[in-house]
Amino acid sequence: MELNKIDHEIQRILNVTRLSTLDEMKNDFTVEEKSGRKDLVTAIDKSNEKMLVSVIRQLDPEARILGEEGFGDQIDDMHGHVWFVDPIDGTMNFVMQKNRFAIMIALYVDGKPQLGYILDVMQNILYHGGPEMGVYARSAGMVDRRIKRPDNVSLDNSLIGISGPLLINDDYNMKKIAQTSRGPRMYGSAGLEFASVIKGELSGYVSYLKPWDFAAGNVLANELGLAVKTIDGAPLDMLSSNVVLVATEQASEEVIKLAN
Ligand code: 2AM
Ligand code: CA
Ligand code: CA
Ligand code: CA
């Protein structure tokens, strides 16, 4: 199937998944601890992932799918069509706030970013795009609005997103990085923090993340000329955990210098 037809179908299924999420949220749903009380999964994470995986398989017979909750495939290399699915990004926010969470999908072909989607469920804003296509945000009932490349702002003139654990533990000199900025921000959804960097609300975002947390944001950030690297300044490994930094060129250089 052509890329733009796949794109259209993914946008459609994201909306279906959003509606079923809103519906299931009205009733009680199971919440389980994964590694502990700060790491949760709900029945809705699981049902979303099952639905998205089954639709992607129908759309793209070549698909190999890496999903957080394990309903996809075991993936050891980036050959061919590799999809990433995060059925609810910000599960803690979802459980505690019923707000500030996203559904994310990304497609890479032979390791190259192709399509990325971050759906802010409660605001009903879809961030999407890919190489040579541009990056767009679409609010409910509106047309796509093109997102332009954010200004190359410096750390001292901007806000920076830093994940809770990194800042609390002062890993990689994060307190100093926060002090150098105009202030740290902490949203609890990697997808929505990537979206804030893409919109130019934050000069950067840094967090320890898994592939499904950064795959979609990486597609969109790349297309807008933002730097996406590990905190050491190395390229991301798409198949393992990374301390990810997405930032303007200027802020990226400054953060990497302060962190190492
Ligand atoms: P998740 O909700 O899909 O698990 C803040 O917790 C952000 O970091 C969320 O986007 C969350 O994604 C992600 N994250 C990555 N690893 C995490 C972990 N071990 N515990 C909690 N959140 C994690
Ligand atoms: Ca999780
Ligand atoms: Ca996530
Ligand atoms: Ca998740």
155-193 pLDDT, tens digit each: 999 999 999 999 999 999 999 999 999 999 999 999 999
Count the domains in the chain.
2
> Does 207 lie in the same domain as 118?
no
Rounded Cα–Cα distance for residues 52 and 225 (Å): 29
Rounded Cα–Cα distance for residues 15 and 53 (Å): 15
Probe ligand 1: pick from 92, 95, 118, 167, max atoms within 8 Å of CB? 92
Residue 255, domain extent: 155-259
Residue 118 corresponds to which amino acid?
Answer: I
Helix and strand numbers (H, E) in the chain are 8, 14
Q: pLDDT value at position 46?
A: 98
Ligand 1 pocket, CB under 6 A: 39, 68, 86, 89-92, 188-190, 207, 209-210, 213
Q: What is the mean pLDDT of residues 19-38?
A: 98
Rounded Cα–Cα distance for residues 79 and 254 (Å): 34
> Does 142 lie in the same domain as 19?
yes
Q: What is the mean pLDDT of residues 60-84?
A: 98
244-257 pLDDT, tens digit each: 999 999 999 999 99
Residue 124 sits in a domain whose CATH number is 3.30.540.10
- Ligand 1 atom with the shortest distance to the CA of 89: 3
> Does 211 lie in the same domain as 246?
yes
198-247 pLDDT, tens digit each: 999 999 999 999 999 999 999 999 999 999 999 999 999 999 999 999 99
In the predicted model, is pLDDT for residue 1 greater than 80?
no
> CA torsion 57→58→62→64, rounded to 10°?
-10
Angle at 56 between CA 147 and CA 219, to 5 degrees: 30
CA separation, residue 192 to residues 75, 101, 104, 201, 255 (Å): 26, 7, 10, 11, 20
Q: Which of 146, 163, 195 is the last residue of a domain?
A: 146
> Does 84 lie in the same domain as 12?
yes
